[in-house]
Amino acid sequence: MRKVHMNLLKHQRDETVHEGIRGKKYSLAGCVDCHASVKDNNVLGSNEHFCQGCHVYAAVKLDCFECHSSKRKVTAEVSK
């Protein structure tokens, strides 16, 4: 995944932006939901966070989150 993840993201971007295909399968939010830190529900903030850590290691600019949210959507638990 590390080797080809940018190709996957570009492919999904093209289908979403250029072809108008939207949904969970093409959502960056799905990636964030799985990879966000359990401490602060974020993929950014320090090199210990999933996305930022890899991008710093690879010396690659991380610009996805200039438009997209880097935080996991937190849903309130419903008490019975």
78 found inside a domain: no
- The whole domain housing 46 covers 5-66
80 found inside a domain: no
Q: Can you list the alpha helix ranges (DSSP code H) found in the chain? A: 5-13, 28-35, 50-58
76 found inside a domain: no
61 found inside a domain: yes
Residue 12: what pLDDT? Answer: 84
β-strand partners of 42:
71
- pLDDT tens sequence for the chain (80 residues): 678 888 888 888 888 888 888 877 778 888 899 899 999 999 999 999 999 998 998 898 888 898 889 999 876 554 54
33 found inside a domain: yes
Could you give the count of Cα atoms lying within 13 Å of 29 in the half-sphere of its Cβ?
8
Question: How many domains are there within the chain?
Answer: 1
23 found inside a domain: yes
